[in-house]
Structure 1
């Protein structure tokens, strides 16, 4: 009975802080840019700049671009976890949480639960922008939603890595800069925006071992065929392994934080 009461309190506290983190995102221009503006800008930019060169037209390029921009947008949004966490710590907000009669894990849980909704919004903005540019999926809405949820799951699992970095690195601006550099490298050295066969052999090798390439390949296959495949299963398992590894590490570091 006591354990049930504690569990219910933890869930209520976590949901309250999830709401707080979503409001914080909406009232912070930088966070709104990461979640809403960037997917729109990158979709428009890459579509109209590279569409004619790579595929002959913007419309022909969109089926390739959508999966790449979807993953990039969600990874960009996921990287904000570490920065927001560190900002709250540096501003003393988490110290204030310690004095409140709430579950000790609730501030961290609220941050990560809120991230899942931020990621879903970011991915939806990328798909909506592509649709306004003329992209029309050849599969049903269920397959599109499945691809979006897979991308969100991978983004959410990655957010645990960024959350751990946010607990370990003291400078929020440094976290933001490093996260942006890493994500840009991983996405541009993948099959997100160009055919891999056009790259030099040594770059093709790097692209093929890049986990972002595997994720994009799985999502692209779902959007093209409407069917779940072995690559998607591998991506799902990989995301689960990331969570199994980094969730306990993040919780331990969080609980041992001064």
Structure 2
């Protein structure tokens, strides 16, 4: 099956259960918003999905394949992006993302997100957290992946940079990429997402289209964030 499939994923840290049979399907050519308050299991699920944490049961597959078989087709940006601090931006692109940073077709996006040749010659350890985040997003997008996970993609991005990222995400979506995003900015993420999984206490409290969810509440005035709060509070 196409896309990213979380199939009955459970996970624990010691005796503390974090995820309880989490199932959802992030379809090819769609953006799926994994929404939840801090500490409900979003990061744990991402770690399971990328083989950084072992599930106690269930699995995550990509186009029917395990993560180890799709690494060249996959990209991820964590909320605190990893870089080699003693290497230049160019070298980080090559090593971490298998991107040839000097290629002409890469220059436009890098420049738009504030990384000219001077910045790319700097050591990544000199980048601020916001710059690291923009750098990691640019590198992930340049890979043109079939499967993409973005954890809190709007952190450290000014409105102009976010607009550029959204444009590129929608391009990837149109090319059939399966995209999962997390974040707390409901207004901006609602605008680009097709599907939402509302996670609370390690379980999916809602799993479906945003349009269908809003129709359930039959009000033009209620926001997605307000609906989210009602669901997680059990109202």
Q: Same fold (TM over 0.5)?
A: no
The TM-score range, normalised by the shorter chain, is: under 0.3
State the structure with more CA Rg.
1
Task: Give the strand-richer structure, 1 or 2.
Answer: 2
TM-score normalised per structure 1: 0.23
Task: Give the helix-richer structure, 1 or 2.
Answer: 1
TM-score normalised per structure 2: 0.25
